[in-house]
Amino acid sequence: MAAQTFDHVVIGAGSAAWGAGRAPKRVPRDHRAIVTGMKWVRRMAAQPALASLIDVETRPGPGSDSDDALLEPAAGCMSSGQHAVGTCRMGRVDDERAVVDAELRVRGIEGLRVADGSVMPSIISGNTNATCVVIGEKCADLVRGRPAPPPLDV
């Protein structure tokens, strides 16, 4: 969190995608996941049921076995999907890294709340739209002072 209201804030995507014309940002966890996935797909494609349907691997191509060789073609076709999350950490009062509290209030700025995907700790496996709508609805309830609905009995 910026120490002062007018401090410059740097927002970085922190993903494996680095965009056209920009140097790669090294994110080892993402790179391991990409390489592991590509090796898994190669093993699957080598199985008899699929191998007979494949003429040749075009990218990265046969013989490209090093992690760097596998990452290179992936770099040109990856993107974040513009689903940025996790930039405004939500946390308890004693969490110094938390930007917002459990009621979505920005620490240190009275009257300001954050009601979008940035309060999610990490990206969900699906589209973030529905989750962001629910966060917005929850924030609206908080602003209006509405109590939380009772838990569902499922």
Q: Which residues pair with 105 in a beta bridge?
A: 113
**Residue 59: CB partners within 8 Å, gap ≥ 6?**
73
Catalytic residue set: 83
In the chain, the N- to C-terminal Cα span, in Å, equals 39
